[in-house]
Structure 1
Amino acid sequence: MTRLAGPLRLEGEAATLRLAEDLAAILKPGDCLCLDGDLGAGKTTLARALIRAVAGSPALEVPSPTFTLVQSYETDRLTIHHFDLYRLAGPDELFEIGFDDALRGGVALVEWPERGDGEIPEDALWVRLSIADDPDSREVVIEGLPANLGERLNRSLAVRSLLDRSGLEEATRHWLQGDASSRSYERILTKDRSLVLMNWPEPPRGAPLADGRSYAEVAHIQSSLTSFLAISRTLNERGFVAPQCIAADPANRLLLLSDLGADGIIRDGRPVPERYIAAAELLADLHAETWPETVDLGDCFADGVHQRHAVPPYDREALSVELGLCLDWWFPYAAGRPANEEERQEFWQAWSPLLDRLETAQKSWTLRDFHSPNLLWQEDGEGRRRLGLIDLQDTVFGPAAYDLASLVCDARIDMDAALQQEMLESYFAQHARQGAMLDRSKFMHAYCISVTQRNTKILGGFARLAHRDGKTAYLKHVPRILSYLDTIMQEPILAGLALWYERRLPRP
């Protein structure tokens, strides 16, 4: 076992709450956190603070499990099981009180872990508390294996260090729902300020494709902080609303950003029509702009390094590797087998002329995931400032129609056909008000192709998330995605492709 942190000195309740938040931020299902120390060392106080931090409820009642041996708490984020083994007769009783089951589905927080000798997981994180020279203070040493929990702990302590350096010593940390990437988010609150912390560990490179590059490299999935900063800064300069960088720790890949709020474009599980219309009009504004191919960020991290970001093209290779997700991941999920050679050849033959058309379509910055999870309503905003834009790092130069397809056929919410048509008309009307030239027929061809490409990609992407990453929740959206494909296939521009989808695309 390795010392991972400490000795840390906790002087008073506020310091204990800070440590509890720092520990709560790293927990995932399957983790075991052991609190070790003599009577009066503060184990129960820290346990209560940690459980409340996970639950996001400072007033949550957290009784001691001394007599019940275990208390469980289901939260929006995860289930945490609080064990007190002081009265345990022997380690073999751990099975009887559900310790193994707790680890399979949630987090085990264990007081008096030494009484479970031999049954505590080897990769558990041990927080050892002792009374300091001042009876109101505690000393803490954290031990465990450097990998996994140890790596997460280091990142969490780096977050706290960034907050302290930014004058936010009294700030509290609150978990936010993440996305399908390696990024995680927290809301950082003070008495008069709200910020968002982006925690972006270096993503794994991924398996090499036939030419040796990874999927992310071919699809232009970004992994640098500068990609996000370049797009967000440029959007803000053009009068759009995007997160602004408050502070950064480039070595640990952390960004402290302005908070655009939590009010989206969905309410009570349904689209808010005027907000979707505003999003369509925003896209017309965005497409009327001339965007740079390279963004110069200067010495944005104040480390003497000049940063630039080249916005990559949404080229044929990128669009094709995304389409390939359907063959490589959707087929095994829905059909129980890989796509065969005949299915693959027919697929690419049908797609080739459509990809040719996209190459000649109107181009603009394409944010790629321009849909409800990434659009935040700005109540006091006007015009293009009515919506805040997030998840920007993978922006490319691609078909302007793509983001409109992403919005109108929102993968996360059922869309009424009348609203979809109104969004299209609002886009064209706003485009006309901008005085920009637009070939509507050619644009709609690109739109239909983009709807098809995007939803075909999503089928494979959701299947991959479920099988490879265990993120099965995305599969609930599959019926909607299939419905979008069934509808768009009625368009004449897709006649050559529709037959393949009718005969070959497997349904679960």
Structure 2
Amino acid sequence: MTPPEDPREARRADFLAAAGWGGVEAVPLAGDASARRYFRLQRADGARAVLMEAEAGEEVSRFLRVGRFLRDAGLSAPEVVASDAPNGLLLLEDFGDALVARIAEAEPEREAGLYAVAAEALAALHRHAPPADWPRATPAMLSRAIAPLFEHYAPETPPETRAATEEALAQALEGLDAPTAVPILRDFHAENLIWLPERAGSARAGLLDYQDAMAGHVAYDLASLLRDARRDVSPAAAEAAITAFLRESGRNRATLTAAMALLGVQRNLRILGVFARLAAHGKPRYLALMPRVWRHLEADLAHPAAAPVARALGEALPAPDPARLDRLRRRCPTP
């Protein structure tokens, strides 16, 4: 008996045929922490595109809206070749394989320049007000967002420590100037940036994975870029990025770096929990990234701006030492 056709494959084939890409082989590309899937297509005439499959509905609609906003701002988000939001299908411009992370690893002498352009792209983005209907990364929302830390990474944390940490974080974030003034992309790092040397200025930074954009603080995405869970950013590259951002934005260095430290604490507390959850759901590779996340967290907790959060946490939060990682690994459904 012939097995029934996968409905996803049938929808994909119909979508590609209607877009003029029927019969083209779809080669899987590396995915990310989400359930989205990506495929590269290349026609006989040499034209290339990327197919994105996502959860049907709002996620795709948001990707389309945010991408349009970014392109209107003069930044490089992939053009949309065809879309079927109800079925979670997008055919996108192919930016190629020149990930900033790969280039920086292969040619470390170029890292500082690449990171400077990425920071320039952020400064250019911040010249545009976030749309009124974008979610707001308020201090209350950001403090609640560290919940995965206590649910998945350190569930043994006393309830009073959890409450005190969230309260201290919210109060510290309230002290930041204009906490929701600019667009933030939230997952802004070297593996979500494609180098496009044929373009000019900040448009040389090709942007990916921006559907979760919000209105937030100017330092948020810079903290995401420089406190990267996936790779070590050299001091020279970090300084090049900060210098470029300050030059393009006119911000104050001390104020910016204090905000980066505090937002770095928020991000990395959350990331520890998210990575533990991903591991428990069959993605144990994220456990190997935890020691780097911890180093970022320790460095930022030492900044005076994060002192209230450090006091609230005290000694309650365990490091991702071999015993902790082994415990988390044992929860993984796959080896």
Match of 2:221 in 1: 403
Query: Which residue of 261, 275, 297 maps to 1:448?
Result: 261
SS in 2 for 1:168: coil
Using a 3 Å threshold, how does the CA distance of structure 1 residues 314 and 349 change in structure 2: closer, same or farther?
closer
Match of 1:457 in 2: 270
Query: Which residue of 4, 18, 38 maps to 1:165?
Result: 18
Output the amino acid matched with 1:383.
G
SS in 2 for 1:186: strand
CA distance in 1, matches of 2:103, 2:212: 29
Using a 3 Å threshold, how does the CA distance of structure 1 residues 155 and 445 change in structure 2: closer, same or farther?
same
Query: Which residue of 184, 190, 193 maps to 2:47?
Result: 193
Match of 1:183 in 2: 36
Output the amino acid matched with 1:320.
S
CA distance in 2, matches of 1:321, 1:466: 21
Output the amino acid matched with 2:3.
I
Using a 3 Å threshold, how does the CA distance of structure 1 residues 154 and 429 change in structure 2: closer, same or farther?
same
SS in 1 for 2:147: helix
CA distance in 2, matches of 1:422, 1:378: 19
Q: Output one character per residue of 1:326-372: Cα deviation in whole Å (capped at 9) or x when no partner.
A: 1111104xxxxx32223223313422321212474362101000001
Q: How big is the shift at 1:501?
A: 4.3
SS in 1 for 2:143: helix
SS in 1 for 2:86: coil
Output the amino acid matched with 1:344.
R
Match of 2:154 in 1: 331
CA distance in 1, matches of 2:103, 2:73: 32
CA distance in 2, matches of 1:249, 1:395: 21
CA distance in 2, matches of 1:251, 1:311: 21
Match of 2:212 in 1: 394
Output the amino acid matched with 1:379.
P
Q: Do the aligned partners of 1:361 and 1:443 also contact (CA within 8 Å) in 2? A: no
Q: Output one character per residue of 1:252-289: Cα deviation in whole Å (capped at 9) or x when no partner.
A: 11111111111111237736221111101111111122
Output the amino acid matched with 1:392.
Y
CA distance in 2, matches of 1:268, 1:360: 35
SS in 2 for 1:257: strand
Query: Mapping of 1:475-494 within 5 angstroms?
Result: 475-494=287-306
CA distance in 2, matches of 1:346, 1:292: 33
The alignment status of 1:418 with 2:236, answered yes or no, reads: yes
Query: Which residue of 145, 161, 168 maps to 1:350?
Result: 168
Post-superposition, which runs of at least 4 consecutive aligned residues in structure 1 deviate over 6 A? none
CA RMSD of aligned residues (A): 2.0
Q: Output one character per residue of 1:216-263: Cα deviation in whole Å (capped at 9) or x when no partner.
A: xxxxxx943211101101111221110111112233111111111111
The alignment status of 1:382 with 2:200, answered yes or no, reads: yes
CA distance in 2, matches of 1:349, 1:318: 11
Match of 1:229 in 2: 64
Q: Do the aligned partners of 1:225 and 1:250 also contact (CA within 8 Å) in 2? A: yes
CA distance in 1, matches of 2:284, 2:104: 20
Q: How big is the shift at 1:163?
A: 1.1
Match of 1:243 in 2: 78
Match of 2:129 in 1: 290
Using a 3 Å threshold, how does the CA distance of structure 1 residues 476 and 168 change in structure 2: closer, same or farther?
same
Q: Output one character per residue of 1:111-137: Cα deviation in whole Å (capped at 9) or x when no partner.
A: xxxxxxxxxxxxxxxxx5xxxxxxxxx
Q: Output one character per residue of 1:412-446: Cα deviation in whole Å (capped at 9) or x when no partner.
A: 101223322232112101224xxxxx344433332
CA distance in 2, matches of 1:250, 1:283: 28
Output the amino acid matched with 1:264.
L
CA distance in 2, matches of 1:345, 1:200: 35
Q: Do the aligned partners of 1:361 and 1:446 also contact (CA within 8 Å) in 2? A: no
Q: Do the aligned partners of 1:362 and 1:443 also contact (CA within 8 Å) in 2? A: no
Output the amino acid matched with 2:124.
D
Match of 2:182 in 1: 364
CA distance in 1, matches of 2:69, 2:170: 34
SS in 2 for 1:503: coil
Match of 1:255 in 2: 90
Q: Do the aligned partners of 1:241 and 1:385 also contact (CA within 8 Å) in 2? A: yes
Query: Mapping of 1:91-240 within 5 angstroms?
Result: 128=1, 141-143=2-4, 153-191=6-44, 192-202=46-56, 223-240=58-75
Using a 3 Å threshold, how does the CA distance of structure 1 residues 290 and 251 change in structure 2: closer, same or farther?
closer
**Could you tell me the percent identity over the aligned residues?**
33
The alignment status of 1:320 with 2:143, answered yes or no, reads: yes
Using a 3 Å threshold, how does the CA distance of structure 1 residues 224 and 266 change in structure 2: closer, same or farther?
closer
Question: TM-score, normalization: structure 2?
Answer: 0.88
Output the amino acid matched with 1:189.
Q
Match of 1:19 in 2: none
Q: Output one character per residue of 1:76-129: Cα deviation in whole Å (capped at 9) or x when no partner.
A: xxxxxxxxxxxxxxxxxxxxxxxxxxxxxxxxxxxxxxxxxxxxxxxxxxxx5x
SS in 2 for 1:400: coil
Q: Do the aligned partners of 2:227 and 2:296 also contact (CA within 8 Å) in 1? A: yes
Structure number having the greater strand percentage = 1
Output the amino acid matched with 1:450.
L
Match of 2:247 in 1: 429
Q: Do the aligned partners of 1:316 and 1:359 also contact (CA within 8 Å) in 2? A: no
SS in 1 for 2:66: helix
Number of equivalent positions: 315
Q: How big is the shift at 1:142?
A: 2.8
Output the amino acid matched with 2:218.
A
Match of 2:117 in 1: 278
